[in-house]
Amino acid sequence: MRRTASFVAVMAVLVLGAVPAGAQTTSVLYSGLNGPRGLAVGPDGNLYVAEAGTGGSTSTVGQCEQTPPPVGPYTGGNTARISMITPSGIRTTVVDGLPSAQNALGDVIGVAALAFVRDTLYALVDGGGCGHGHANEASGIYRIDRAAHTFELVADLGAFAHENPVAQPQPGDFEPDGSWYSMIYAFGQLYAVEANQGRIVKINPAGQVRQILDVSEDNGHIVPTAIAAWGNSFYVGNLNPFPIQPGSSQIMQLAVSGHFRHTTFGLTTVVGLVFDAAGRLYALELSDAPGFPTPGAGKIVRVDPDGSIHDVLGGLVVPTAMIFGPDGTLYVSNFGAAPAGTGQILEVTLP
């Protein structure tokens, strides 16, 4: 998710440690993370957190295609990690040393999303690739060995992006390795969303990648970010390029084949989608204020089957992901696109 303005610059006005409105149902499970992004609940009942890291100083300028200014170029480092947080709020490191990158505006990418396939944890890493300052480490799907604290590349999604150009790339806002933001496990496959070029791909356990939808072909540069599955459909939300126009984002319902079924309009900067146990759809909005991301303007909304949108929780600060736990608790990555060390995981109990 990018684009044209730095989240880090916006963060200069934050009051760190703030808890959003509705604090009687909201608490901080853990704070002090480095860019918390996607979340997963493990078979052990613990929460697993993707962290973008702090980037690095390695440059690949002159070695490969770079993201154009003002966003690019990137510099890379191996500072991204995956943390495990117990229900009592104790954090341990599952793996570290994963690719991380920082762009010219100060925004950091690294581990973007997590998903369990039975007992095995998979990570979607966005911080790799030559265009992100990593000549020899890819953006893609990594298999995590939680016992050995190691990782291995399963699918090179950066290479896939290079080899499979979308119909409507945007030259002035182009990530050569893609911008891989979210991932789920559904229908026996992993599905990943690439936001910048605009695509959805599926990855089988052997690491084979197949594109199921070129979002840019019919929709242009809408920056798809979030994906969820319910019944026999996918639901995909989008961010849209900045500056933010409230109400301009949408949720598209897709058949597993990638064909459109329905679209819900009127949302803003969607970065997360989840269903609760009753099948109610919730969307996480990065910021619903016009212009550029505004601290405290992030929120959670519920989207009913008739397309009506209802505010659930406001006051969030550049949130980046959410997930329901088995007991119905909603976990949210707050201060997700904020300076290192400020990231929080919130626990939200909904009515």
Per-residue confidence (pLDDT) for residue 20, from 0 to 100: 52
Is residue 1 assigned to a domain? no
Average pLDDT of every residue of the chain: 93
* Count of domains forming the chain: 1
Q: What is the C-alpha radius of gyration for the chain, rounded to an integer number of angstroms?
A: 18
| Confidence band, pLDDT 50/70/90 cuts, at residue 10 | very low
328/195 Cα distance (integer angstroms): 29
Residue 2 falls within a domain, yes or no? Answer: no
DSSP state of 345: E
Digit-coded pLDDT (tens) for 92-134: 999 999 999 999 999 999 999 999 999 999 999 999 999 999 9
Is residue 318 situated within a structural domain? Answer: yes
CA 292 to chain centre: 18
**Percent of the chain, pLDDT > 90?**
89
Q: Does residue 301 fall inside a structural domain?
A: yes
Tokens of 84: 């495990």
Our measurement of the distance from residue 90's CA atom to the centroid of its chain's CA atoms, rounded to an integer in Å, reads 23
pLDDT band at 15 (very low <50, low <70, confident <90, very high): very low
User: Per the domain annotation, does 270 fall within a domain?
Assistant: yes
Span 177-234, pLDDT tens digits: 999 999 999 999 999 999 999 999 999 988 999 999 999 999 999 999 999 999 999 9
Q: Is residue 146 part of a domain?
A: yes
Can you tell me whether residue 172 is helix, strand or coil?
A: helix
Structural domain for 205, as ranges: 7-348
pTM of the model: 0.94
Asked whether residue 256 is assigned to any structural domain, the reply reads: yes
The tens digit of pLDDT for each residue in 252-292 reads 999 887 788 889 999 999 999 999 999 999 999 999 999 99
Question: SS3 for 50-85, per residue?
Answer: EECCCCCCECCECCECCCCCCCCCCEEEEEEEEEEE
Instruction: Decide if 290 is inside a domain.
Output: yes
Angle subtended at Cα 178 by Cα 286 and Cα 295, rounded to the nearest 5 degrees: 15
CATH number at residue 333: 2.120.10.30
User: Mean pLDDT throughout 58-77?
Assistant: 97
| DSSP-derived secondary structure for 227-293 | EEEETTEEEEEE--SSSB-TT-EEEEEEETTS-EEEEEEEE-SEEEEEE-TT--EEEEES--SSBS-
